[in-house]
Structure 1
Amino acid sequence: MCGRFSLTTELDVLLERFQIDQTSMDEYIPRFNIAPSQQIPAVIRANQMNRMGTLRWGLIPFWAKDASISNKLINARSETAQEKASFKHALKQRRCLILSDGFYEWKRTKDQKIPMRIQIRKGEPFAMAGLWEKWNDGDKNHYTCTILTIEANEFMKEIHNRMPVILTRDNERIWLDNIVSDSEILSSCMKPISSKEMNAYEVSTLVNSPRNEQPECIAPVGSL
């Protein structure tokens, strides 16, 4: 599962790193504790350009009768996404990059759950594989998304049994390519990142509440 993450990287770094040609974001601010139901930064490819904007986290399939289904669709299991009605259409036609520089998971012990922040290499930004949808309620269009997850690699197994699908740079380009719909090619993109690429550290229980959105959320325990 991926239910909380951060994005504190400066905008100009993101624009260069993900080769973003256009952004519709009126304001970009660092986010330290991003939670479901919030608007989150994402990249889609349209008209041969990588476009950065925001999507509401929690997918509403185009066929949904009401928006409440989004609460259950913040994540999509990559192993079954090609079969599930909620995800299979988006997987073929509406894929996106969900930008992050760290995600949170809670490590279970006998008597507590310890919040951990997981990063790639030295904290560089990365792209999680996402799907997006446009849903109309009769009055307006709603643009929503979900994050694909996969069975944890050896590193993550010490913390949690699931992890987000983190795309390699080559796979980022494939993932955004609207022409690609072959199931085998898409499946090849949805693999756990190497354990050697990852690091993690304990953070404050501040992240337990989505109301807390401050730099202290990403600080290692003991550094405050």
Structure 2
Amino acid sequence: MCGRYTLVVEQADLESRFDARFRESEFAPRYNMAPGQELPVITNEESETFQRLEWGLVPSWADDDSGGLINARAESVDEKPSFEAAYERRRCLVPGDGFYEWVETDEGKQPYRVGFEDDRVFGMAGLWERWEPETTQTGLDAFGGGVDDDAESGPLETFTIITTEPNDLVSELHHRMAVILEPDAERRWLSGDAGREVLEPHSADGMEAYPVSTAVNDPGTDEPSLVEPL
């Protein structure tokens, strides 16, 4: 699976890499991106803009906005009810430059950071959804046009990262890995011109994995020391 990742590049370099811009807010390097956080992605609806969506996809048909799905399996992403609509109509790129995996040791779980030796930024294949609360009227509000608090909060936009079989490097750490798209496949993935054929394990050539501090276990910790090798 992919449950934490990093994006420590500067904003100008990130915008240049994906030919997209931050519209309403600035970006600061992130060392411990975690589920439930609002994180930058590029969607097929606005492919020239970074948007902040919450990590943990909530299907549009869900009864409530709990239990977001952080990963989708490449092998069944076009068939599972939770993802099939998004696969057809709502794709996204999730920028990152590393991700964390945990390995069982005699001393407990040891986190490792996986990335490229040259620290390059990459695009992970993702899907996004828009969940809208039901507009209900209750009590006296039903006569005055009032709506419940959930409806007033507006739609929730969420995303998930697609995973696949691990390459030779990641297989030593975990049985799944995020789909890292080749740069020439990123826009084809967004547009829908590319299908499951691009959701393959990225080659391990040029990649590295190294142990890092267990401080990364706390999703509230976000500091440069987390990406330093032990």
CA distance in 1, matches of 2:50, 2:60: 21
Q: How does 1:137-216 map to 2 (within 5 A)?
A: 137=133, 138-139=151-152, 140-178=154-192, 180=193, 185-216=194-225
Contact 1:41–1:98 (8 Å) recurs in 2: yes
Match in the other structure for 1:125: 121
Distance 1:120 1:82 in 2: 29
- 1:168-198 Cα offsets, whole Å, 9 max, x none, are 01110111115x3xxxx41111000001131
Native 8 Å contact 1:130 1:148 kept in 2: yes
In structure 2, what residue type is equivalent to 1:169?
Answer: P
Deviation at 1:111, TM superposition (A): 4.5
Alpha-carbon distance in 1 for matches of 2:39, 2:158: 9
Q: Which position in structure 2 is the counterpart of 1:57?
A: 55
CA contact (8 A) 1:120 1:126 kept: no
Superposition deviation, residue 50 in structure 1:
2.1
Q: Deviations over 1:8-60 (max 9, x none)?
A: 1011111111111x42241211111111000111112336x422111100001
Alignment check: 8 A CA contact 2:95 2:123 kept: yes
Q: Distance in 1 between matches of 2:24 and 2:119?
A: 23
Q: Is the 8 A contact 2:169 2:209 kept in 1?
A: no
Alignment CA distance shift 1:62-1:6 (3 Å): same
* 1:62 alignment partner, SS class: coil
Q: Report the RMSD for the aligned CA atoms in angstroms.
A: 1.4
- The answer (yes or no) to whether the contact 1:25–1:54 under 8 Å persists in 2 is no
Contact 1:25–1:52 (8 Å) recurs in 2: no
**Structure 2 CA distance, aligned partners of 1:157 and 1:213?**
26
Does the 8 Å contact 2:71/2:161 carry over to 1?
A: yes
Q: Which residue is equivalent to 2:143? A: none
Partner Cα distance (2:157, 2:217) in 1 = 26
Aligned residue identity for 1:19: D
Cα distance in 2 for residues equivalent to 1:197 and 1:191 = 17
Q: What one-letter code is carried by the residue in structure 1 that aligns with 2:67?
A: I
Deviation, 1:113, is 1.5
Q: Residue 96 of structure 1: SS of its match in structure 2?
A: strand
Q: Report the Cα offset of residue 110 of structure 1.
A: 4.3
Identical residues among aligned pairs (%): 42
Higher mean Cα deviation, 83-92 or 131-140?
Answer: 131-140
* 8 Å Cα contact 2:128-2:159 kept in structure 1: yes
Which entry has the higher C-alpha Rg, 1 or 2? Answer: 2
Q: Distance in 2 between matches of 1:136 and 1:23?
A: 24
* Residue of 75, 83, 98 corresponding to 2:71: 75
Q: Matched residues in 2 for 1:143 and 1:46: separation?
A: 12
TM-score, normalized by length of structure 2? Answer: 0.88
Q: Which amino acid aligns with 1:160?
A: H
Task: Quote the residue 1:33 is aligned against.
Answer: 32
